[in-house]
Structures are given as C-alpha cells and as structure tokens.
Homo-oligomer: A and B are copies of this chain.
C-alpha cells in the first residue's frame, strides 16, 4: 500500500507541508503546482527533500484546460505541456493529472478532444511520462469518468489513462459500476476525498468542504472496495480542499489524513471479507475489532484546592451524595443511583495537568465496554496516545485513551470491575432518595478548527456514528451541534461548535482553552421528583419563560394541568414524530459559572437530546 496525500490538503509552505506529511507516515505525495511555484527553491531541491523524507512524488497536478481549445492555440498549449514535463523530470515525477476543460467555449466535439489528448499522450510518451485524464464534476463537456474513459480509450496510448477521484464521481451521484469497461492498467491514479452532503454548487462544495474519508458522508467504502476488487493496487492518495485544513497547523491535519486512510482500508478489508473476495491485499490496514459499549460509568472533574469546595456544594445541591474518598489520593466520589462522579484534586496527576490548562473541568469520562484491550490496541494502531495505567497497591488499574483535547476516556471492562470500595473509603451516608438511572449524555464544546480532529477520533478509534448537524440559536450567534453516539446509542456525545465569538459555547471555548466536556445530563426515572428533591436541597433551576409554555400548548396541544406541572418544575418539553417525549430541566450555573447540569426523563423512546429547546435555554442562560 502506497499512502499518499496532495500538498494542497495541509497548510504552510511547501517544506513545512512535506515535513508534516512524512512525519504522519505517508510514503507518497502529490505536488500541487501552486505550492511549487510559490516555493523559492528549485524543483530538484524538492525532489531531494522528498527523497530525504522517504516520500515518493506520486503525481504532479493539475494541468488544466487543455483539450478542445481554439485550433490556433493547440501548439501553445503543447508548449505549456512540454515545459511541465521538463519540470516533472527535475521533480522525479512521471505522472501528470490533466483535468477536463471547464470552459463552455472549449470544443464540445469528441473528435477534437480526442485528437488533442492524443497529441498530449504522444508528447508524454516522448518524455517517458504518463498522463491521467480526470473528469472534473464541473467539466464543461467531460464531467463523468465514463466520458473521460471514452476519450482515453480512443487515444489508445500506453502513456494515457484516467484518474478516478471519489469526490468527482460520488458528488454527482455516480458510482463505479461502469468500471468493468475499463482495463485495470488504464487506471492511472486514484484520489480519495469525502465530503458532507450539501446542496450547493459542486465547484464550491469541492473547493471548500472536502474532508478526509470517514469525516463526511460519501460512500467511500463501496468506492474503494470496487476498485480493490477490480485489482487496483496503486497509491491511495488524498486530495482535500478544505478551508479549515488550510488554516489549521499541518501536523494534526496530516495525522488525521493518514488515520483516514487506515480507517478506510480497515472498512474496505471488512467489506471485501464480507463479499468473500478471493484476494484481499495484505497491505490493507487491519486492527482489533470494536468493543461493545454499555454506557458511561463515571465522569471525572479536575479540581484545585480553591474550586473543589464550590463544585462540591453544587454537586450536593443537585443530588449527588459525597459517598467516599480515595484511600491514597485527593479524589472524592459522588453518587446518585447509577451516576458516579469523581472529583480529582490530586497534584501531579493527569487531572492536575488538565486543570492547569483548562481550570476546573470535566477532564475524563469512563466507558463501560466489552473488550477494553481491543480499544487500546485500536487507539495505538491509529496513532493516538493511551494513558498508562499507574495503579498504586490495591488500586484498580484503569487504562485510558487520550481525547483530542488532552482529556481521557477510561475503559472499564464490563463485568470485570471490583467496585468502588477497592479504591475508596465509602461512607455510610444514605443514598439520595431520587435514584438516577445514569449519565444520559455529555456535551463537548469544540473549537471550530478542531471539529474534524474529534470526528476522526470518534469514528476511527471508537467506531461511533454521527447524526446530521443541528443548528441552535444562541442570542449571540449560531451554534452547530452534532450528536456522536456509540452504535448501540448507549453513549451519547453531542459536539457543539460555534464560529461566532460571543456565544455561550464560544466564550467557554476561549475562556477554558478549548473547553472539551462541558455539560452533563443525568437520566432520571421520575423527573418531577428529581427536580423537587434538587430544589429542596437548594439547587436553583434555570427559569423558563411563561411564553414558552404557551407556545408548547399551541404546538403540542398539551393539557393545561400538565403544562402547569411542567412550569412549576421549570421543565422544558419536546416530542418527536413517534410520540417519544423528553422532559428536562437545567440547573443554574454551578461552581462560579463553570458548569451547568441537566436532569431529564425520556419517555417512549425519545432519541434526541432536546436540541429543539436549546434556543430558549441559551437565551435564559444569558439573561442580561
């Protein structure tokens, strides 16, 4: 497997790009012409640098608008090609991408296009070069790979084949089902790009919103599987135009690019196995199978001596009893029913390091899984750090994988744990009367530039699924929220991103340096009694405007008595199309404004997370 990426996919100067690409693990690189012409050294220097870095130059691109120009310009364009072939010789690259003409003024005559391409192929042959002809999705006359192949077949030169780019094929809703007609040796090169589904101009979509395989919604696995079944064994090369990747540091982007190929290879391997393919390439990446997820076991807060008492007060008011303290560390346990919270004030711990950077924070979550070792293996195989379990005498060792923001996911083997009493002195404090069912979801606030890093982590290592993006109206801008969840939907992590600077999310991200885990929602069996109990303990709840309830009445035709009950308990309400219901309340800010919590009750299989009520919540949280 040669794993390659186009220089345009990452930020910086050409040498910076190459360094980041090589460090991420790639062994091939496409040189994007613009990057070369902005580079003050010679092509031979780039060739040497790539050699030193162990990078083969797999492709030089793009050569645009060649076929079907006015007849009197053909020689000029052939001269242009000659100069580029000369440049490629210096680069040590033998493959040129030629993309289909985008001007409606270019000739629509198939014969003219073929004749021009034949001239180019002949020239390439003279130079010992290969040309791959690519149908751009917005090409004026050639925009499907079948058309590109039609021209290339007629040219019939050993120096000319086609380039297949997953975006150009899949963005038009096309498939590789027409691949049978094309001889394997005529597939000169393969470019891979994913994208979110968007209804917009294809050129704009391609130039700004491509992303790595696994970060978008195109059927990349089927695409790669069909090509592999066909026998394609050439480079898999990423070509990603993405505004965020252009702006973020090259190193993490290149790392994610490499991971995206591994992830696509793994899925392709599975698809091939499922189809009983006779020949699965050995080079295709394989890792351990995904574990099963059984829910969130606990969440951990990083606290200091100053802020721990504030958090303690808030948690107890909410209904979490201080149930115990760690036998050897400054770590406390809070519980209500199946909900466990850890507050870690231990110096020189991972939590302390997190606290130093982010202040009082949720710094870790613990997942109950079946197959923790497999998950650790996956994390390492995809190049993510794992946290070495450093258990003291008689302590439970808990392994963890590192989140993109430096937080941790602990892995608790389902059925294997020894219980809290092994590590903690447990008190005899009676558990609160309102027994909570568990941690329903954990919202994660993410800086815009890191969204794709989180997505890559959640998809590749954890195998989580992503729902479609929701928009929430903060009174000071738009928040985009996307639910990531385990396949069985037992672990739910809404990812919240805001490009605006003044939204609640954006201010938290800025204030706490990339906020990470931000808000925890606890599931209750009886939300009314849970709310009453919390209020009796002195927990303030976010007020809800009377106007909101009047609108609920209009929208859902609710009974006045039920509305009065909701209002009396500060409860928000949502109902889905299948009659599933959510009743939920938010606390006033806890610990000097750092957190808020949510208590909720799901009825009848409601699967959302109350996103319809985010606007009223965000407005009330920011009352002047």
Interface residues of A, Cβ cutoff 8 Å to B: 11-13, 15-16, 33-34, 36-43, 76, 79-80, 83-84, 87, 198-201, 204, 207-208, 243, 246-247, 449, 471, 473, 475-478, 499-503, 543, 545-548, 550-551, 553-555, 557, 615-616, 619-620, 622-624
Contacts and interface: CB of A to CB of B under 8 A. Distances in A.
Contact of A620 (B38, B84, B553): B38
Contacts of A39: 545, 547, 619
A281 to B, nearest CB: 36
A554 to B, nearest CB: 4
Given A478-B247, A547-B43, A37 B200 contact: no
List the number of copies, as a whole number: 2
Contacts of A33: 551
A475 B7 CA distance: 11
B473 A12 contact: no
Of residues A243, A476, A545, A547, which shows the largest number of chain B Cβ atoms within 10 Å of its Cβ? Answer: A547
B11 A476 contact: yes
Given A11-B476, A243-B478, A501-B247, A38 B555 contact: no
Nearest to A544: B40
Nearest to A449: B501
Contacts of A40: 543, 545-547, 620, 623
Contacts of A557: 76, 79-80
Given A243-B500, A246-B500, 16 more contacts: A15-B624, A33-B551, A37-B545, A38-B616, A40-B543, A41-B545, A79-B554, A80-B555, A83-B554, A199-B201, A200-B201, A208-B478, A246-B473, A247-B478, A247-B500, A247-B503
Of residues A38, A83, A84, A502, which shows the largest number of chain B Cβ atoms within 10 Å of its Cβ? Answer: A38
Contacts of A37: 545, 547-548, 550-551, 616
Contact of A545 (B11, B38, B477, B551): B38
A558 B545 CA distance: 71
A34 B550 contact: no
B13 A475 contact: yes
Contacts of A624: 13, 15-16
Contacts of A201: 198-200
Given A83-B550, A246-B500, A473 B545 contact: no
Given A13-B624, A79-B557, A501-B247, A615 B38 contact: yes
A620 B41 CA distance: 12
Contacts of A503: 247
A548 B623 CA distance: 56
A247 B11 contact: no
Contact of A615 (B34, B87, B208, B478): B34
Contacts of A616: 37-38
B555 A246 contact: no
A208 B473 CA distance: 12
Nearest to A208: B478
Nearest to A546: B42
A266 B224 CA distance: 59
B477 A243 contact: yes
A362 B551 CA distance: 53
Contacts of A476: 11-12, 246-247
Nearest to A15: B624
Given A201-B200, A547-B37, A13 B554 contact: no
Contacts of A543: 40
A503 B247 CA distance: 8
A443 to B, nearest CB: 20
Given A199-B200, A243-B478, A80 B554 contact: yes
7 contacts: A16-B624, A33-B551, A38-B615, A198-B200, A199-B204, A243-B500, A247-B477
A212 B247 CA distance: 30
Contacts of A200: 198-201, 204
Contacts of A622: 13
A547 B36 contact: yes
Contact of A499 (B36, B83, B243, B551): B243
Contacts of A623: 13, 40
A330 B34 CA distance: 47
A478 B34 contact: no
A80 B551 CA distance: 9
* 6 A-B pairs with the lowest CB-CB distances in the bound complex, closest first: A247-B500, A247-B477, A199-B201, A200-B200, A38-B619, A83-B554
Contact of A11 (B243, B449, B477): B477
A555 B11 CA distance: 25
A622 B13 CA distance: 8
Contacts of A502: 11, 247
Contact of A83 (B79, B477, B545, B553): B553
Of residues A37, A84, A198, A543, which shows the largest number of chain B Cβ atoms within 10 Å of its Cβ? Answer: A37
A614 to B, nearest CB: 11
A314 to B, nearest CB: 23
